[in-house]
Structure 1
């Protein structure tokens, strides 16, 4: 199963206090997105701090890459390079007088030379959308910007696993959406992501697996629709059933037969409702989804290309894509849940353009393929360069059910 992190019957009690972790065992596969979910005091933060040796279990074993974590100074330095930890409050993590110095702190402690440090800092800041912030003082930044500096400080060490304690705490809805999109992008680039939260609406469409914690124990562990599908367990954990799952369950109680796969997005729910209304013959005249990779070197403005297309919606995935849109003063119709929203437009016969990064461009095709395979519809995905020109690429596809990808090139 390619397990990267594992807990074997770990227990921990704070000095002169309560038992915080009471015999927990589970594993994390490489490349997974895992959410630890539960109320305050459930043990989420304590467990997260065991992942990189910040807390040592009283009994039991924590393993990384099938090797028990050791707690001598050299071993801890190595594990903290490979398992990066982002605190809930970035003010507790940012320690240097400038952004550059703070992000450079980790690589410097790992013994990087000056050139390697500069490169690591530049890559990390670009990744979180903070190019040009090197000389800024952290106390002058917004809460969302501070959070990104903290993430950049961890990314500069190029860890295999990223651990986030309440990553959207203190952020407004837009900032939360941007951050979760960044986590999706990092995961798509191969990072294993683990977060703690009590926000079930945040976790439900995002996580590969959800682990419900209560009073230092695992209450439920499974894919999100199963983990949150038992109302009694959800109530015990002082949580609520995600809205889409709640609606799906209510439809089931009313006798409406549904697919085994529960809805994880508005798009999934629309598909279920349409099938219940006997619209199983698909759509005619679907729109297209164009994909523009903003990481290409061409900086030709897109505004003219967009304005020449009537009723074109524009979405952006990732910080760099949103920055590019801002630089060109493009109005974004979609900034979160972009792919599914563009699919919904295509089903109405309307065209969309998605600005995205190189690492996420393939994800657009994968998601459209998944939907078309399940629904029987066909949607055309067209790659563009940043000048708005069609590229002759394997990304250009008429995606439809029952087609092999080798037969979908146009």
Structure 2
């Protein structure tokens, strides 16, 4: 299958500077989540700038959908509509005096009619959780909010590929988690997402595929658990292995646990340790229920009903629209990131929880819980929450 994006032996040298890229060949599959990882000066940003034509290689070729990039004005405009780029510093990207005007800039330059521009702006701001911010000056926003404005400006042009240069740079831990959850939501909707980062912890748990770079070269590419298990490669790139993977490998070397597919989350690691301690897959007398609410199709009444009846002990929301819904309905949340795994962990100790989400993330929740159930042998499933009905009294009225 032809990669969606690829580079073929590209090189690049900045004026009066050293070579930034030296013979880089990479392939990016459609629908993938790829992290380009390396220390400062590795060439990560330069490579990303090649992918939507902001830089032109000194030699070699960049291809989109199998076709070499053309660098005339019309071709680049079309490419940048399909391959959106979010800069590391949102202040570089935000140019208009209001949030609304900034997000409208791209659709306006595409020549869309006014009604289509308004819809694009509203849809994009809704996606990133910034409806109601239209008239605000960007310089009054927090770092995380500015990042969301920059993302909305790209989403308004409906690109197939989203490229993020250091998406969590300068953000606090909570804002970083929310931005990465937003990227997960975008990927679950079918978009191809690429990021650059020096944060191996982030890349390990988020990416499907990793490209490891150092001094303008690609050192390795592949699944993160494979790339980050090679301590020699990481040392060459001046990086440390992810703590979870490092601990797993050390326990494996000491025959404390059997080596296998490395865990990518606390949930997976906990399961592995528990199996080793018990000598088999644990059989649980009772697991908690994981309820699932699609906020696009449900009011807060069904959730409040579950809470009032004591059926739910923990609540989490995934995605910006789901968090807006919870805020609007005055539903207090326990979890705002890492929600699925946290709710599974609670189910494993017999406690029940509810996940609020929207759109393609609903299927993502079902799929993730189904995969875990198949892997663990435990009967876990997401139980949909519906509106209460007059012919379904009590708890049954809230559940399918």
User: TM-score interval w.r.t. the shorter chain?
Assistant: over 0.9
Match of 1:314 in 2: 315
**Number of matched residues?**
392
Q: How does 1:165-314 map to 2 (within 5 A)?
A: 165-277=165-277, 278-296=279-297, 298=299, 300=301, 302-309=303-310, 312-314=313-315
Q: CA offsets per residue over residues 326-351 of structure 1, 9 Å max, x none?
A: 22332211111111111111111111
1:275/1:300 CA distance change after superposition, 3 Å = closer
* 1:103/1:156 contact within 8 Å kept: yes
Q: CA offsets per residue over residues 103-145 of structure 1, 9 Å max, x none?
A: 0000011110001100100100000000111111111111111
Q: Report deviation, 1:385.
A: 3.0
1:217/1:179 CA distance change after superposition, 3 Å = same
Q: CA offsets per residue over residues 337-393 of structure 1, 9 Å max, x none?
A: 11111111111111110011121011111111111111111113210136685454x
* 2:123/2:156 contact within 8 Å kept: yes
* 2:366/2:381 contact within 8 Å kept: no
* 2:42/2:216 contact within 8 Å kept: yes
Match of 2:391 in 1: none
For structure 1, which segment, 375-384 or 186-195, has the greater mean C-alpha deviation from structure 2 after superposition?
Answer: 375-384
For structure 1, which segment, 336-345 or 82-91, has the greater mean C-alpha deviation from structure 2 after superposition?
Answer: 336-345
Match of 2:363 in 1: 362
For structure 1, which segment, 234-243 or 214-223, has the greater mean C-alpha deviation from structure 2 after superposition?
Answer: 234-243
Q: Supply the distance in 1 between the matched residues of 2:282 and 2:355 (Cα, whole angstroms).
A: 27
Report the secondary structure of 1:111's partner residue: coil
Q: Does 1:329 align with 2:342?
A: no
Match of 1:379 in 2: 380
Match of 1:7 in 2: 7
Q: Does 1:111 align with 2:105?
A: no
Report the secondary structure of 1:171's partner residue: coil
Alignment RMSD, CA only?
Answer: 1.5
Q: Supply the distance in 1 between the matched residues of 2:233 and 2:212 (Cα, whole angstroms).
A: 9
Match of 1:80 in 2: 80
TM-score, normalising length: structure 1? 0.93
Q: CA offsets per residue over residues 277-299 of structure 1, 9 Å max, x none?
A: 11424322111100001112645
For structure 1, which segment, 299-308 or 118-127, has the greater mean C-alpha deviation from structure 2 after superposition?
Answer: 299-308
* 2:10/2:61 contact within 8 Å kept: yes
Q: Does 1:101 align with 2:101?
A: yes
* 1:107/1:117 contact within 8 Å kept: yes
For structure 1, which segment, 179-188 or 268-277, has the greater mean C-alpha deviation from structure 2 after superposition?
Answer: 268-277
Q: Supply the distance in 1 between the matched residues of 2:250 and 2:79 (Cα, whole angstroms).
A: 46
Q: Report deviation, 1:187.
A: 0.2
Q: Supply the distance in 2 between the matched residues of 1:237 and 1:190 (Cα, whole angstroms).
A: 31
Q: Supply the distance in 1 between the matched residues of 2:113 and 2:193 (Cα, whole angstroms).
A: 28
* 2:212/2:219 contact within 8 Å kept: yes
Q: Supply the distance in 2 between the matched residues of 1:331 and 1:83 (Cα, whole angstroms).
A: 37
Q: Supply the distance in 1 between the matched residues of 2:9 and 2:149 (Cα, whole angstroms).
A: 35
* 1:34/1:210 contact within 8 Å kept: yes
Q: Supply the distance in 1 between the matched residues of 2:282 and 2:223 (Cα, whole angstroms).
A: 30
Q: Supply the distance in 1 between the matched residues of 2:143 and 2:386 (Cα, whole angstroms).
A: 34
* 1:382/1:390 contact within 8 Å kept: no
Report the secondary structure of 2:325's partner residue: helix
Q: Structure 1: which 5+ residue stretches go unaligned?
A: 393-410
